[in-house]
Amino acid sequence: MFKGSMVAMVTPFKGGRLDVPALRDHAAFLLENGSSALVPIGTTGESPTLTSEERAEVLRVAIKAAKGKAPVVAGTGTNDTCTTIDHTRAAEELGADAVLVVTPYYNKPSQEGLFRHFEAVAASTKLPVCLYNVPGRTSVNLLPETVARLSKIRTIAAIKEASGAVDQASRIRELCDIVVVSGDDALTLAMMEKGATGVISVAANVIPRAIADLCAAAAAGDAKKARGLHDRYLPLMEALFLETNPVPVKAALRLMGRGTGEVRLPLWAMSESNEAKLRRVLADFALTYPPGKRSGSGSRPRASAR
């Protein structure tokens, strides 16, 4: 289940509301272009700003689109164990195939606290659990030794490793046989060379076929093809992080004619200078619509509250 190009899906908004038709279209676009799994309501999906009703609707749309084609891995993690368990049970009831659970943010738990948190979540579900380690957002690092302890729990199946340290992923692989996937597009090739099985990708929202091909080449041991795709698309991967994710990826989709680009407060629209940089990179790949121009009315979207 946890292999290849798994897309950390954006959540489309229009006028402050969930844009369900755009969500359906985006899910179809990703699946038609080789994505091996859909990962909705995670960080890229702006999950902290979604209501319970919106979370359920996003998940229903993703599950319906992916049925018979690819698994759906629902983001269910929060910084409260009880709420995470509630989200996880809801995802299981709706028909998700697995859950992605981020380390609790802001609380800054100890390694023992992290272990107990994930242990409790895993005990609450029959679904495979993918741990999610992203210290840059959470201020805590799930250490390899703790991952090794957690890997002994039956329902804990994988880890999305986004610490930015390839050696940490290597250490995890030394200590246990848990599946490791990259949480950073720019490190996907390096991680797969160390045994990762794929990536939960932001860039795949924009270039799903390219990321799918990169993962397939790396998995097949075609180093030349994988390196060529990595080198070619690295400037775009980097441009998608000029500002906080998912602001740039939503701007990119708008420039491609694939959405409004709208984000929810406290996120805000991309700065004009950074959008100009992003537009130039997209133009290099002939991804803007029309080439070199903004889609729609040309006005830059404003962030909104619900």
Length in residues, the chain = 306
Distance set, CA 193 to CA 54, 196, 215 (Å): 38, 7, 11
Q: Choose among 91, 38, 23: nearest CA to 208.
A: 38
Burial of 250: CB neighbours in 10 Å, binned 0-12, 13-18, 19+: buried
Q: Where are the alpha helices (DSSP H) in the chain?
A: 20-32, 52-66, 81-94, 111-123, 135-138, 144-150, 166-175, 188-193, 208-219, 223-239, 247-255, 272-284
Active-site residue (options: 3, 132, 233, 250)? 132
126 part of the active site = no
Rounded distance between C-alpha atoms, residue 286 and residue 279, angstroms: 10
160 part of the active site = yes
Amino acid at position 240, single letter: L
Q: How far from the centroid of its chain's Cα atoms is residue 72's Cα?
A: 12
Distance set, CA 269 to CA 171, 206, 227, 251 (Å): 38, 18, 33, 8
CA atoms within 13 A on the CB side of 304: 14
CA atoms within 13 A on the CB side of 196: 33
Active-site residue (options: 160, 233, 289, 293)? 160
User: Which residues are designated catalytic?
Assistant: 132, 160
